[in-house]
Amino acid sequence: MSELTVLLVGVGGYGTGYVREMLDHGAERGATLAGVVDPYAATSRFYDELVATGVRFFDTVEAFYAQNTADLAVISTPIQFHAHQAVYCLTHGSHVLCEKPAAATVEDVERMMAARDETGKTLAIGFQWCYDPAMLALKADVDAGLLGRPLAMRSIVLWPRPISYYKRGLGWAGKKRDASGAAIFDNVASNATAHYIENMLWLTGQGYGGVDVKDMAVDTLRANDIEMFDTIVMDARLENGARMFFVASHATGPEGWQNPAFEYEFENAVVRYGALGENGDRLIAAFRDGTVKDYGVSSTGGCDHKLETAIALARGGDAALPCPAEAAIRHTRAMAMLREKRPEAEVFPADAVREDDGMVWVPGLKDRLVHCYENWAML
């Protein structure tokens, strides 16, 4: 196995997962660290371990590529940096695995795709459910027509977040743009729960290219003091005719958790993952002829499958890329349509909002959102 070099761009936040993967499993994958780009690398909880490997640290991708090369660059930085860093890494000879969302705007994703096409390098986007073995098995059955035409899909995710969530790092969370004017558009649907919108677009499109949202009705609200929104109910129609209903919030309070759950209805089967009030992790299809297929445990939690796929492709393998930019841009387009429909989020009335234990939340909001999910109803 030939040695492959990996540049880690961003080693805090979600990037710590890639650090751990490289430290623990890089050698067995024939991959070594080419360098780390992160001006705040010293704050990473794995900083001392990285130093012990002898890896060199850089503040910018420009500084790294001025003297070095890498076969693969893994980008785990805030959203506003994705497009520039991906384009720079691609045009300087690296394949790229960029974390989700691909970028804040359709134009930025298109710039990334153009650089990919010009260089002939791989551009993988890190929507990890696309790399999950159980989800890939379901996707194969969908593409083979075993489940029939997609009819209606609904998904719910309620993840309460403390005030500190919006103050982390450079303070970009919940913002529309940074101080330089670069687009961020960070919100509950574009970032933390983006997987569950993207999954419906990816799963029901033929192949790995996904399908676009044709139109939507959407409610966006905020309890937190942010520029974007922390709560959403979306009722969309896809270009393939399927209905897509999505509910998510960061403002449901300490007891307001609902881990991801979905129900996807096809002509021949209903696919379920989790359930209301439960934290299920199995992907199960109940067919209308009475048969049941258990695809196994499915998770969006890790970096392992993504990194393994990106390394294989960078090495010249012929495996398919399950999450190309063509799939990820569907989510970016949906977020752009959302902003057109709702340029500003509605603000929850002050008397409906509580702040305690470092969290801003809306009592009763979980029940209201569960009602929306159960009844396919807007707020």
The whole-number pLDDT of residue 57 equals 98
In sign, the C-alpha dihedral spanning 247, 135, 332, 307 is: positive
Indicate the number of domains in the chain: 2
- Write phi, then psi, for 31 (nearest 5 degrees): -120, 135
111 with 138, same domain?
no
Cα-based angle 190, 20, 160 (whole degrees, multiple of 5): 35
For residue 253, the domain's CATH number is 3.30.360.10
The whole-number pLDDT of residue 169 equals 84
Residue 337 tokens read as: 């349509």
Question: Does residue 310 form part of some domain?
Answer: no
* Contacts with 64 (C-beta within 8 Å, 6 or more apart), sequence order: 7, 34, 35, 37, 58, 70
247 with 113, same domain?
no
140 with 284, same domain?
yes
Cβ contact 122:321 at 8 Å: yes
Tens place of pLDDT per residue across the chain (379 aa): 579 999 999 999 999 999 999 999 999 999 999 999 999 999 999 999 999 999 999 999 999 999 999 999 999 999 999 999 999 999 999 999 999 999 999 999 999 999 999 999 999 999 999 999 999 999 999 999 999 999 999 999 999 999 999 998 888 999 999 999 999 999 999 999 999 999 999 999 999 999 999 999 999 999 999 999 999 999 999 999 999 999 999 999 999 999 999 999 999 999 999 999 988 899 999 999 999 999 999 988 889 999 999 999 999 988 899 999 999 999 999 999 999 999 999 999 999 999 998 999 999 999 999 999 999 999 9
* Contacts with 140 (C-beta within 8 Å, 6 or more apart), sequence order: none
98 with 140, same domain?
no
Question: Does residue 364 form part of some domain?
Answer: yes
Residue range of the domain that includes 84: 4-125
Q: Which of 61, 95, 125 is the last residue of a domain?
A: 125
151 with 115, same domain?
no
Question: Does residue 336 form part of some domain?
Answer: yes
Question: Does residue 308 form part of some domain?
Answer: no
51 with 197, same domain?
no
The whole-number pLDDT of residue 270 equals 98
Partners of 354 in the beta sheet? 361
Question: Does residue 96 form part of some domain?
Answer: yes
The whole-number pLDDT of residue 170 equals 83
CB half-sphere exposure, 7, CA atoms < 13 A: 31
The whole-number pLDDT of residue 199 equals 98
The whole-number pLDDT of residue 1 equals 59
Question: Does residue 305 form part of some domain?
Answer: no
Q: Which of 90, 125, 160 is the last residue of a domain?
A: 125
207 with 273, same domain?
yes
Question: Does residue 315 form part of some domain?
Answer: no
Q: Which of 78, 97, 125 is the last residue of a domain?
A: 125
279 with 345, same domain?
yes
232 with 358, same domain?
yes
353 with 271, same domain?
yes
Question: Does residue 246 form part of some domain?
Answer: yes
* Contacts with 355 (C-beta within 8 Å, 6 or more apart), sequence order: 163, 361
For residue 50, the domain's CATH number is 3.40.50.720
In sign, the C-alpha dihedral spanning 301, 210, 86, 157 is: negative
13 with 63, same domain?
yes
107 with 211, same domain?
no
